[in-house]
Amino acid sequence: MKLTKKSHACVRLEKDGRTLVLDPGGFTEEDAVLGADALLVTHEHPDHFDEGRLRAALGANPAAEIWTLRSVAEQLSASFPGRVHTVGHGDAFSAAGFDVQVYGELHAVIHPDIPRITNVGFFVDGAVFHPGDALTVPDRPVDTLLLPVMAPWNKISEVIDYVREVKPRRAYDIHDALLTDLARPIYDRQIGALGGTDHERLAPGASTEL
């Protein structure tokens, strides 16, 4: 499986000539959805969900489908009947040849005065876990964790403890558009030294084989 990092929380996974795209939001390049056979969206916040880009992807490929939670599905399903699927914690499905399991229910707390919305994480092919905006711990070993490294709802100690709890073989940064280049070496050093796993960072557009 090939993993390509796109800006912020979006990644592309490619296998056997098919492409799965996760969380192509407003901070992500417009071409992130280009050629997508399946799209997964963890929640409705605009840095993860850009309605126009999803509509463009579905329009460009009549066979493309989306799997997401209800709050996102309701905005798209009427326009694309049968191609937008609502999923929740505990569900399992196949998307473009990838086996996917769903974990989690709620977005992390931003502030007690801000109501929490729903959020799901996607575990792809029993290997790659994208938690969305939550520090969800799957009930099975994780080979590759897509790590939300910088957000209004987290701090570096929580990120480090999350890596320690999940115990992935390796962790790649996502949710990093708010992290300045000046701060990146600090995060790299501390997460790498204290997380207890192989911590790596891909520049937007860079790829690796899993």
pLDDT, average across residues 4-8: 98
Give the separation between CA 42 and CA 26, rounded to whole angstroms. Answer: 14
User: How far, in Å, CA of 28 to CA of 167, rounded?
Assistant: 28
Instruction: Give the pLDDT score at 104.
Output: 98
Instruction: Give the integer Cα–Cα distance in Å for 186 and 193.
Output: 11
Average pLDDT, the chain: 97
Token pair 């579905």: residue: 58
Please say whether the beta carbons of 138 and 123 come within 8 A. yes
Domains of the chain by start residue, with CATH:
2-209 (3.60.15.10)
Locate 34 and state its tokens: 């280009």
What is the tens place of the pLDDT at every residue in 162-193? Answer: 999 999 999 999 999 999 999 999 999 999 99
Q: pLDDT at position 189, please?
A: 96
- What is the DSSP code (8-state) at residue 62? T
